[in-house]
Copies of this chain bind each other. A is one copy, B any other.
Amino acid sequence: MTLHLVLAESALELVPESMQGHPAARAHARRLGRPASETLLDVSWHYAAMRDAPDAHRRGRPDLVHQAVLAAVATPLYRNGLVRLYVHTLRDVVVRFGGGVRVPKSYHRFEGLFAKLLREGRAGGEEALLEAGGGTIPSLLREIGPSERVGLSRAGLPVACRRMAAGLGEEACVVVGGFQRGGFSDSTAGALDRICSISPRPLETHLVVGRLLYDIEAELYGPEMDGGAPA
């Protein structure tokens, strides 16, 4: 089986041109030793520059994306090559993870790598293990062509994660929001077969990713092999 895992509308982008001259963006860029245009928008540094921007509450959370990606790539399921990971951003960029890509655990290294990736379209050496290019959720799902498209959102139909995971087909795609709060856009929701809610209250993205992959592993490897076989 292959699970296609998509973080959708993720709060990941470079500092946009309109904010690059703001004192907060310039100060942070100086600290990193790069032009502001080559740094990631981050509400914890750029709050003053962002607060009046459209969709401010859905932008500038690279920390959240980092934690969700780490939750995925640390799993035996991913390390066994059974997960294809995609990060779609609010600005319709899609980051594709090559097989077995490792992601820096240190935040500042992640920031540097993903800023370069968003600017240059690829990172990770000659093998281009990470690639970024334009793409919407509907276009990405058409390209993947999965057996089913399941979104996870508190607005969906309630179902235990374990039960949902047990019912996924061999080539399923699961879409999880890569933002802090709120639901999927109409465009994303319209491209899904169904939306499930695995908890009556909001859960952080890294938690949802971790639980989903753990439940799929338990289903695949059996309860006595939750950790997966040695590589």
> What is the total number of residues of chain A having a CB less than 8 Å from a CB of chain B?
41
Q: How far is the CA of A218 from the CA of B227 in the complex (A)?
A: 17
Task: Tell me whether chain A's interface is mostly helix, strand or loop, or mixed.
Answer: helix
Scoring A64, A71, A106 by chain B CB atoms within 10 A of each residue's CB, the highest score goes to: A106
CB atoms of B211 and A226 under 8 A apart: yes
Residue A63 contacts which of B106, B160, B207, B224 (CB distance < 8 angstroms)? B106
CB atoms of A162 and B105 under 8 A apart: no
Pull 20 A–B residue pairs with CB atoms less than 8 Å apart, ordered by A. Answer: A31-B31, A63-B106, A63-B107, A64-B105, A67-B67, A74-B203, A74-B204, A75-B207, A107-B107, A107-B108, A160-B224, A161-B226, A161-B227, A162-B218, A162-B226, A199-B228, A201-B231, A210-B214, A211-B226, A214-B214
Q: How far is the CA of A164 from the CA of B31 in the complex (A)?
A: 47
Interface residues of A (CB under 8 A from B): 31, 42, 44, 63-64, 67, 70-71, 74-76, 105-109, 160-163, 198-201, 203-204, 206-207, 210-211, 214, 218, 223-231
Residues of chain B within 8 A of A109, CB atoms compared = 44
Q: How far is the CA of A159 from the CA of B166 in the complex (A)?
A: 22
Q: How far is the CA of A227 from the CA of B231 in the complex (A)?
A: 31
Residue A207 contacts which of B42, B74, B107, B199 (CB distance < 8 angstroms)? B74
Q: How far is the CA of A226 from the CA of B207 in the complex (A)?
A: 12
With both chains docked as a complex, state the minimum distance between the C-beta of A37 and any C-beta of chain B, in angstroms: 20
Residue A199 contacts which of B76, B160, B161, B210 (CB distance < 8 angstroms)? B76
